[in-house]
A and B are shown apart, each in its own frame.
Chain A
Amino acid sequence: NAGVTQTPKFQVLKTGQSMTLQCAQDMNHEYMSWYRQDPGMGLRLIHYSVGAGITDQGEVPNGYNVSRSTTEDFPLRLLSAAPSQTSVYFCASSILQGNSPLHFGNGTRLTVT
């Protein structure tokens, strides 16, 4: 049982480049979300989804796009990377029921130069 899988683990981009961070879960969870973790800022919610075809913005959505075409996958797209997007990105999933715990991936460390 893999749980939540994020790829890649590390990535270096130049300013202006685009890329997609992948997230997949095999637990049939309806709810999926993306966070970024920055020193002194904790975890900040970027986007989230309560099911296939449904996405919504979190606290810091600017510069990021998401889609949810299947229950399993929730990719995060950076259309034009900026140095301010240097961070560690975490994907998480849970069942869609109040008080359900989030299951986290191992994270993707992104550096934008």
Chain B
Amino acid sequence: AQRVTQPEKLLSVFKGAPVELKCNYSYSGSPELFWYVQYSRQRLQLLLRHISRESIKGFTADLNKGETSFHLKKPFAQEEDSAMYYCALEFGDDKIIFGKGTRLHILP
């Protein structure tokens, strides 16, 4: 069955330190992967998607098909990065499923 796994419920990182939010997926076909972010008192919104290969707010994510991973990275954490982050997988007949989410807490 298709699955998205985010192993960390909470990740605390000091300001200026590197950030890596882990995401692994289970899908036998060609995956379409996304990261969504939910800042305090704001709507869930798209952060980035693997097909765009872009950097948004300093975040990047590379699809590793061999390891079935799509980890989110940022070299230097900022306080405004504190939020809830969700990895999502689109597959088959337009189903989009999410992982359980990781709360990122940036320490001053």
> In the complex, A99→B34 CA distance in Å?
8
Which residues of B30-87 have CB atoms within 8 Å of chain A's CB atoms?
32, 34, 36, 43-46, 49, 51-52, 86
Q: Tell me whether B15 is interfacial, beta carbon within 8 Å.
A: no
> In the complex, A102→B36 CA distance in Å?
9
Contact B96 A45 (CB under 8 A): yes
B97 nearest in chain A by CB position: A45
Known: A50-B94, A101-B49, A105-B43. A42 touches B32 (CB 8 A): no
A8-16, A33-41, A72-80 - the one binding chain B: A33-41
Chain A: residues with Cβ within 8 Å of the partner, total of 25
Contact B34 A101 (CB under 8 A): yes
User: Which B residues are CB-close (under 8 A) to A89?
Assistant: none
Contact A58 B95 (CB under 8 A): yes
Contact B9 A35 (CB under 8 A): no
User: Which A residues are CB-close (under 8 A) to B86?
Assistant: 42-43
Q: Tell me whether B22 is interfacial, beta carbon within 8 Å.
A: no
Contact B100 A42 (CB under 8 A): yes
Which residues of A24-62 have CB atoms within 8 Å of chain B's CB atoms?
31, 33, 35, 40-45, 48, 50, 56, 58-59
Besides A42-B99, A104-B44, 7 more A-B contacts (Cβ < 8 Å) are A44-B97, A56-B93, A58-B97, A98-B90, A99-B32, A99-B51, A101-B34
